[in-house]
Amino acid sequence: MDEVHPKAQWVELPEDLSAIEFVEDVAHIIVPIEAVDRLPFKNEQRGDTERLRKLIRSIRRHGYNNFFPIVVRLGRRGRWVIVDGGNRLTAARIVSREFFTNLFGRKVRDIYFILFRTPLSNTRIDDPPDDEPKTG
């Protein structure tokens, strides 16, 4: 049996979000760091912790490593909910904006995401469940 693997898709503009193709409810997404702020995140910001400071120092020294993708799920209202990697995303954003850190070469270029959707991804919170009639 042939397995189907989703190919990585480039997302740079908000319009690109509507063209994302899912294979078995999973999509592999690559986003340039400059475009990350355009994504519809729900819970991406992390507070100042020792773990976050360690990640920032590591990215400054070695650059951002996409070996471990940021795992996000598609929420009910179309926003991306971070499941794993919120500290890495926050650290990458911080380092990418530092002028002197990036003076002789960018430390962060692209961010790799695994986006998955659930059966509730395409519903709204205020929608009644399937077994209740809609009013209005």
Q: What average pLDDT is seen over the chain?
A: 85
pTM as predicted:
0.80
Q: SS3 helix, strand, coil % of the chain, rounded to 5?
A: 25, 20, 50
SS3 state at 132: coil
Determine the pLDDT at residue 4: 64
SS3 state at 107: coil
Determine the pLDDT at residue 26: 93
Average pLDDT rounded to a whole number, residues 111-124:
79
| Domains of the chain listed by start with CATH number | 8-117 (3.90.1530)
Q: 32 has which bridge partners?
A: 110
Cβ within 8 Å of residue 7, ≥6 positions away: 28
CA distance 90 to 56: 9
